[in-house]
Amino acid sequence: MRTTSKLSLLINLSTMLLLVTILLFGCASTQSETQPTPAAANVREPKGNPETFWSKFSWSDLTPEEQELWGTLGWKKDSWDGKAPPPSTEEMEWSELSPEERTAAEQLGYSRFFWDSN
């Protein structure tokens, strides 16, 4: 009888330890992987070359989140619609972009390859 209660106690402790481990480590990593950031939820994902994809939209066609990301890259309504010169980032290589600019570009579907080849 005593052996059974020790075994039962050991099983209960092991189960509790497993649950605590799942709660501490499992949920934290799964939450960030499965829930998009609010900005990413309203940003379209280009298929293929992002330059071709984005060039078919006017500024007013972009969501506020997309406009904010393009704004990080220096674009404004007038420059986007061709009524003002493009921002300096247009001529920069990927390596010349700031970390914030690279993050915005990545959220818009660009990679080093696509950025430098356009």
pLDDT in tens, 78-105: 999 999 999 999 999 999 999 999 999 9
Domain ranges of the chain: 1-35, 42-117
Contact 43, 63 (CB under 8 A): yes
Measured between alpha carbons, how far is residue 65 from residues 30, 84, 106 in Å? 24, 22, 14
**Could you give the angle at the alpha carbon of 59 between the alpha carbons of 76 and 73, nearest 5°?**
40
pLDDT at 33: 41
Strands (E), the chain: none
Reduced to 3 states (helix: H, G, I; strand: E, B; else coil), residue 39 is helix
3-state SS, residue 101: helix
Banded model confidence at residue 5, pLDDT cuts 50, 70, 90 = confident
DSSP 26: I
DSSP state of 87: P
In the prediction, which pLDDT does 115 show?
Answer: 95
Tell me the pTM.
0.66
Residue 11 pLDDT greater than 80, yes or no: no
* Spatial CB neighbours of 54, under 8 Å, sequence gap ≥ 6: 46, 108, 109
pLDDT in tens, 20-55: 556 556 544 444 344 444 456 789 999 889 999 999
Alpha-carbon distance of 23 to 43, in angstroms, equals: 31
